[in-house]
């Protein structure tokens, strides 16, 4: 299971700089719109200190962290829903992602022009992108609604479900709200809603790109976005992208930590961003640990043991017998799988066991 996030934002807000920090691929970071014509894709590792600690005990042949795909999508401008700028291409690329990382400019710099030459205004920038995505979603809904209403009038049950979903979405979108604010009770409604792939239904993480002096506490710009994120029940993160780029260029872990300490930060913004994106999609990690490898596996929070077994291989789920589970803290405390067994701390779990983040799993199966 892979996570795919799209980095979006108006031109010159710091998207490509942030992408450079996240990925070893180097997007061109320049002070003009559309320097990212094709989406740049980078596969990055999800930081997880637990893997390193386990590897120190197990001494595996390799460590395999979970990965996340980041797509740097070309800058959006007002009118993109009508094809302005690279509008249609932008909207096609964003439709394929699981979550949106929306970068907002929250810093002053006379050398970097804002679209239209106006003063810095992250709230207005956010509204421009929201409006373009909402207009595109309305287009998607209107293209289906009349047809579904006609079929529903003839008594088709599926069409009635479709109409109720489309009308609910349309009502909020014409009010200038996002589709993610609508919730549906029935599974049929939820499935139809999901299959629409509306742009504003995707979970969003607002990233406030600040100057170095605001990296820890934020500033007046980021505080405005924080209020909006709270009202929307959305996630928000403060990052100084240019500073993160400087940190990423340092060669040793020690140098990076020293830089972070000088800024009063415990962890880099890049690490925090990836972890936030993970939690945004209700994703967690279970671990397998052996002589060959220590490996992180991604699953949806709330999944039971057989479903997680299927992440490794479909045969594991089909022939699931039981799961042997060690809690991460117990593994660290006792220092080996054998010692955990001897202490009676290994759990033998069946099909109803809900896997917890950080569980070290061994699946027994028969096909």
Is residue 213 annotated as involved in ligand binding? Answer: no
Alpha helices by DSSP H, 181-249: 187-195, 220-232, 241-249
Q: How far apart are CA 99 and CA 202, in angstroms?
A: 5
- The domain in which residue 154 lies consists of 131-200
Q: In terms of domains, do 102 and 207 share one?
A: yes
pLDDT value of residue 166 = 97
Is residue 17 annotated as involved in ligand binding? Answer: yes
Taking each helix axis from N to C end, the angle separating 122-153 and 157-173, rounded to the nearest 10 degrees, works out to 150
Q: In terms of domains, do 344 and 361 share one?
A: yes
Is residue 16 annotated as involved in ligand binding? Answer: yes
pLDDT value of residue 63 = 92
The low-confidence residues of the chain, meaning pLDDT below 50, are 25-37
Name, in order, each residue with C-beta under 8 angstroms of 116's C-beta and a sequence gap of 6 or more.
none
pLDDT value of residue 273 = 87
Domain endpoint, select from 200, 219, 245 = 200
Is residue 131 annotated as involved in ligand binding? Answer: no
CATH number of the domain that residue 16 is part of? 3.40.50.300
Number of domains in the chain: 3
Is residue 329 annotated as involved in ligand binding? Answer: no
Q: In terms of domains, do 226 and 259 share one?
A: yes
| 188-211 tens-digit pLDDT | 999 999 999 998 999 999 999 999
Locate the DSSP E strands across the chain: 3-8, 40-45, 62-64, 67-72, 99-105, 204-209, 235-239, 283-289, 293-300, 320-326, 347-349, 360-365
């Amino acid at each position: 299971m892979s996570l795919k996030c799209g980095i979006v934002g108006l031109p010159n807000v710091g998207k490509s700089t942030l992408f450079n920090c996240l990925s070893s691929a180097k997007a061109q970071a320049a002070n003009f719109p559309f320097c990212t014509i094709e989406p740049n894709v980078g596969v990055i590792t999800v930081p997880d200190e637990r893997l390193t600690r386990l590897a120190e005990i197990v001494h595996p042949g390799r460590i395999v962290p979970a990965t996340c795909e980041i797509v740097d999508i070309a800058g959006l401008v007002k009118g993109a829903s009508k094809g302005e700028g690279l509008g249609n291409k932008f909207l096609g690329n964003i439709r394929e992602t699981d979550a949106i990382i929306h970068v907002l400019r929250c810093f002053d710099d006379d050398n970097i022009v804002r679209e239209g030459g106006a003063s810095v205004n992250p709230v207005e920038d956010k509204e421009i992108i929201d409006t373009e995505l909402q207009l595109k979603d309305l287009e998607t809904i209107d293209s289906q609604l009349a047809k579904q209403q006609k079929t529903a009038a003839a008594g088709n049950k599926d069409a009635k479900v479709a109409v109720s979903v489309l009308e609910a979405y349309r009502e909020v979108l014409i009010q200038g709200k996002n589709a993610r604010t609508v919730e549906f009770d029935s599974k049929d409604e939820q499935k139809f809603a999901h299959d629409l792939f509306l742009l504003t239904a995707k979970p969003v993480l607002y990233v406030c790109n600040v100057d170095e002096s605001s990296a820890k506490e934020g500033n007046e710009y980021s505080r405005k976005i924080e209020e909006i994120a709270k009202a929307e029940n959305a996630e928000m993160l403060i990052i100084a992208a240019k500073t993160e780029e400087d940190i990423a260029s340092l060669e040793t872990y020690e140098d990076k930590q020293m830089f972070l300490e000088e800024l009063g930060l415990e962890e880099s913004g890049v690490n925090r961003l990836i972890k936030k994106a993970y939690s945004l999609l209700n994703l967690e990690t279970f671990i397998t640990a052996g002589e060959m490898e220590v490996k992180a596996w991604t699953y949806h929070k709330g999944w039971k043991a057989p479903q997680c077994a299927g992440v490794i291989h479909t045969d594991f789920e089909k022939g699931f017998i039981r799961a042997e589970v060690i809690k991460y803290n117990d593994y660290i405390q006792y220092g080996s799988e054998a010692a955990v067994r001897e202490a009676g701390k290994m759990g033998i779990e069946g099909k109803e066991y809900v896997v917890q983040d950080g569980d070290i799993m061994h699946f027994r199966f028969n096909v």
